[in-house]
Structure 1
Amino acid sequence: MIDMVEAMAARLVRVRGVCAVALGGSRARGAHRPDSDWDLGIYYRGRLDVAGLTALAAEVAGSRVEVAGPGGWGPWVNGGAWLSVDGVAVDWILRDLDRVESVWADCREGRYEVGVQAGHPLGFWSPAYAGEVALCRVLADPSGELTALRARTATYPEPLRRALTEAAWEADFSVAAAAKSVGSGDALHVSLCLSRAFGVLAQSLHAHHGMWLVNEKGALTAASSLPSAPADFAPRVAAALRALDADAVAAAAELVRETRARLVQAEG
């Protein structure tokens, strides 16, 4: 299958506007299951030939494929396509290379955004752009730009590490908001507040250790394995999200307190 994907990447970079193609997700990290999708990041610049991408997608898939152009899927994961090639799922995900470079410049200064994005229930954290590059496997890169950027993103920026570690304050804020709603039985608001709190902690724990976190999938398990995470971090999160009652909110508040204390202690 990798030969087919590499051949696809070689054809993709011949489409007008496409600069490079990279394998991402669990396949790039070697953490995939046999049934995992093949995620291809299509890095483009300027005017992208969406019609050309659509024609290529139909050819390799053997049937018509809808390709969402820039902006078609939202402001951050801004387009792409879902293909089935010989029964194997291959996802094309568009990335504006100029925007990725701009986000990387922000990361080096300790700046980041969290934007609303379909498919990212806890929001899209802009440093994910840099993390995707750092963790990817470059498949086709005629100009060498993506390869050079990957080398730079291999080092986690210290200003970003500090900023995201300090962002753990928001977890306290979210749990306090949950406490105001739990008495009325507002399960939706409580669940959203607690999920947000735990998502923020996962980001802060990863940043403290200089590790990229690119999305919510697998974030809890990954965060739980980090040295600064409190004991039984993942089971305690899962228990709170199952219960969503006053005891769960109190337990969440304690977990946030422990995590923040460990981060402060580790930061010295």
Structure 2
Amino acid sequence: MEPVIGIVGGSGLYGVDGLTGAEWRAVETPWGAPSDALLHGTLDGTRMVFLPRHGRGHVHTPSTVPYRANLAAMKAAGVTHLVSVSAVGSFREEMAPGHLVIVDQFVDRTVARAASFFDTGLVAHVSMAHPVCAALAAACARAGRAAGATVHEGGTYLAMEGPQFSSVAESRLYRSWGCDVIGMTNLPEARLAREAELHYATVAMVTDYDAWHDGHDAVAVSDVIATLKANVATAAALVAALPAEVGGACETGCATALDHAIMTAPDARDSAMVERLRPIAGRLL
């Protein structure tokens, strides 16, 4: 099956240039409307679907992004490979503003977000030991280098609730835990992508050094925005390079993540939940 590439654009990335047959399509899901309409098109012969995570004009906070609707909309659109492009702060001197980090692990410090499609009446537990698709992550790294970026392969993403930036104490604590970058949006996104059996990867675009760094103990929004604007060109070039890179064999089990995850016995499943979850887990329901 040919891959269909989905792009979730973070702060500063609100579209994809160069799509053939580009069309914005508004959709609804069992979890409501996604952040915005989905931009469909073709790039170098590969189908692509783009969704601005915060909506065009940046109307959603990290806590109010409709994550379940976003992922359900991507799944319903036929997306097989989902790339999250996200702005982050860095806990590592060598991961400098303007660099890209291809994340492979997450630490969740969010507190106010629904983190699963499943609920009472239909229970499932997926493995998050390896939360990104290794093959897709490698493809993103190659695309990033083709775009001329400095790319770091591997890194732990600390997801904080926000919308405020970290205190110095928090920043130092997260750095001491071994986290590499910090952001506000990739969880529960990565969890939901695993439940939806999508190949998922995060391209983290570093905008600042967070509060731990001497001389950077107050993250200035103006500086973040300036770096974001500079990163947009890199992100666009990376997206343009993806069709040539995506499609390698997956050894992470992304497409079969639900095989042994559903716990509720068939005769005990809530019928309304079954119908609600068909777009996500219809392969097994």
Q: TM-score of the superposition, structure 2-length normalised?
A: 0.25
Higher radius of gyration, 1 or 2 = 1
Q: Between Structure 1 and Structure 2, which shows a larger proportion of helix residues? A: 1
Q: TM-score of the superposition, structure 1-length normalised?
A: 0.26
